[in-house]
Chains A and B, each alone.
Chain A
Amino acid sequence: MNLAMILAQEGEKENPLIPPWPELVIGLIAFVIVFGFLAKKLLPTINKVLEERREAIEGGIEKAEAAQTEAHSVLEQYKAQLAEARHEAARLRQEAQEQGATLIAEMRAEGQRQREEIVAAGHAQIEADRKAAASALRQDVGKLATELAGKLVGESLEDHARQSRVIDRFLDELEEKAEAGR
């Protein structure tokens, strides 16, 4: 029995392009099973998870970016603070130097002034002492001279009217001599 005979015998039954209806039905059922499960249950589930994963990854990236931005801003802040601190320190140093300089100048001026005062006071004291000593000496010398002259002359000149005048004249002469002798 050859193929031609078989074909002749089977006739239209073997036309491969004409589908028997039970096969169409089974084909439809088979596909509906796959489509039903995938479309209604399995693909929505996996889509949800894929979405979650995408969000997780994007969230992670966002978080990392935020952290980086924050780190950057903090660094900037620190740098600014550091610069400010340096500036401040320099300013303080400068100020201290200036203050020190004025202080020294002030103290120097004060010292100078005090010294001058002391020197002036000393001079005045010396002058006063000298004057006091001179007047005391003059009195003492007058008295001594009078006493001495009285003893020598024998007469008391103490109450003499010219007493003072004589002594004074004498002393003036002495002074003049002293002046001349200098």
Chain B
Amino acid sequence: MSADPTQVLAFETDCHLFDGCGFDTVSPGLHSFLYEPLWGDADGNGFYFNKPMLLALLGSIIVVGFFWAAFRRPKVVPGKLQMVAETGYDFVRRGIVYETIGKKEGEKYVPLIVSLFFFVWMMNIWSIIPVAQFPVTSIIAYPMVLALIVYILWVSLTFKRHGFVGAFKNFTGYDKSLGAVLPLAMTIEFFSNLLVRPFTHAVRLFANMFAGHTLLVLFTVATWYMLNGIGIAYSGVSFLMTIVMTAFELFIQAVQAYVFVLLTCSYIQGALAEHH
């Protein structure tokens, strides 16, 4: 990666439209998601530390710090910060967990879902925070870890609730009325649930953040690239798009965090549900 010449910020290059410099030199791509390690070596198999990792740890500290400040000494008559935190907590608890799993069964999973929601949201928000400007969840490792935790929980819950045969029926969507198609349906369901589901769960979040970040970088870089001669007109449009996309991303970040935990809840609900 040290060989990657585009790793420098677009603003630090002198590459402009009409200067005989192609946009592909500065355009964002997969390399936009690779960072030089701040410490260690990424090429070897050893441990290293880079900017997304820093943001991930910083993000969890911010989430914990926020809730620590709000809930450390909670009052029956809440202050402003506690009120805000309570609203967020209540939204996830009532709006997501109780709605999907139910109050009685769901209460146990509230801490996990709340943590997941605010963790993912924070990781997404990094995308538009100045200087950071990188959504940690656009690196597959982070959504994958979360999806894996949910996957393990879901599978073990299914076995615990239904026993081995019951769990197998649950995974394969066993339904006698399907008749001759049953083996095929069961095979498809089995793959869809056990193999594809965790993958899509992680990739849905990852791809959205990946695309969002690419778009933001694209318009930002293009604004600088076209800032030459008549290109200023296009540059203005691109700049406007950067702002619009930033606002749009702010919305998408919340939506994706919401979708991620909503799916988690629906998986848990499926594991707890009786056979149909």
Could you list which residues of chain A lie within 8 angstroms of chain B, going by C-beta atoms?
A: 1-3, 6-7, 9-10, 13-14, 16-20, 22-31, 33-35, 37-39, 42-43, 45-46, 48-50, 52-53, 56
Contact B27 A27 (CB under 8 A): no
A156 CA to B4 CA in the complex, in Å? Answer: 199
Which residues of B40-69 have CB atoms within 8 Å of chain A's CB atoms? 40, 42-43, 47-49, 52-53, 56-57, 59-61, 63-64, 67-68
Q: Are A24 and B31 in contact (CB under 8 A)?
A: no
Instruction: Point out the residues of chain A lying under 8 angstroms from B247, CB to CB.
Output: none
CA distance A80 to B68 in the complex (A): 60
Contact of B59 among A13, A30, A42, A43 (CB under 8 A): A30
The residue that A34 contacts in the complex, of B29, B52, B63, with Cβ under 8 A, is: B63
Contacts of A46 in B (CB 8 A): 71, 74, 85-86, 89
Known: A6-B29, A33-B64. A42 touches B142 (CB 8 A): no
Chain B 1-34 interface mask (CB, 8 Å, partner A; 1/0): 1011110000000000000001011010111011
Verify B71–A45 contact, CB threshold 8 A: yes
Question: Is B203 part of the binding interface, using a Cβ–Cβ cutoff of 8 Å?
Answer: yes
| Chain B neighbourhood of A17, CB < 8 A | 140, 203
Among the stretches B144-152, B156-164, B265-273, the one at the interface with A is: B144-152
Please tell me if the beta carbons of A42 and B72 are within 8 angstroms of each other in the complex: yes
Q: Chain B CB within 10 Å — which of A2, A24, A49, A52 has the most?
A: A49
Q: Does B119 contact A (CB under 8 A)?
A: yes
Residues of B with Cβ closer than 8 Å to A? 1, 3-6, 22, 24-25, 27, 29-31, 33-34, 40, 42-43, 47-49, 52-53, 56-57, 59-61, 63-64, 67-68, 71-72, 74-77, 85-86, 89, 110-112, 114-116, 118-119, 139-142, 144-146, 149, 203, 206, 210
A interface secondary structure, majority: helix
- Check A43 against B144 for contact (C-beta < 8 Å): no
- Complex contacts, B59 vs chain A, CB 8 Å: 30
State whether B140 touches A34 (Cβ < 8 A): no
Contact A38 B56 (CB under 8 A): no
B163 vs chain A, min Cβ distance (A): 28
Residues of B within 8 A of A19 (CB): 139-141, 144
Complex CA–CA separation, A49 to B210 (angstroms):
40
Partner of A23, one of B1, B53, B61, B116: B53
A43: chain B residues within 8 A (beta carbon) = 71, 89, 110-111, 114
Which residues does chain A contribute within 8 Å of B140, judged by CB atoms? 16-19
Contact B118 A1 (CB under 8 A): no
User: Within 8 Å CB of A30, what residues of B?
Assistant: 56-57, 59-60, 119, 142
Distance in angstroms between the alpha carbons of A27 and B115 in the assembled complex? 13
Does A31 contact B144, Cβ atoms closer than 8 Å?
A: no
Report the separation of the CA atoms of residues A28 and B53 in the bound assembly, to the nearest whole angstrom.
11
Q: Are A6 and B4 in contact (CB under 8 A)?
A: yes
- Chain A nearest CB from B34 CB (Å) reads 7
Task: Decide yes or no: A23 and B52 within 8 Å by CB, A16-B30, A38-B115 being known contacts.
Answer: yes
Given that A17-B203, A31-B115, A42-B71 are contacting pairs, would A2 and B141 also be in contact in the complex, using a CB cutoff of 8 Å?
no
Determine if B57 and A20 form an interchain contact, defined as CB atoms under 8 angstroms apart.
no
* Closest A-B pairs by Cβ, 5 of them: A19-B141, A23-B141, A39-B111, A27-B145, A49-B74
A22 touches B1 (CB 8 A): no
A174–B206 CA distance with the chains assembled, in angstroms: 164
Residues of chain A within 8 A of B49, CB atoms compared: 22, 26
Tell me if B1 and A13 are in contact (CB < 8 A): yes
Q: How far is the CA of A25 from the CA of B46 in the complex (A)?
A: 12
Given A19-B141, A34-B63, A39-B111, are A49 and B75 also a contact pair (CB < 8 Å)?
Answer: yes
- Chain A residues with CB under 8 Å of B75's CB are 49
Most buried by A among B22, B42, B67: B67
Asked whether A34 lies within 8 Å of B60 as measured between CB atoms, the reply is yes
Q: Which A residues touch B142, using CB under 8 A? A: 23, 27, 30
Contact A23 B115 (CB under 8 A): no
A22-B48 contact given A6-B6, A27-B141, A38-B67, CB 8 Å threshold: yes
- Tell whether, in the assembled complex, residue B141 and residue A3 are in contact, meaning their CB atoms are under 8 Å apart: no
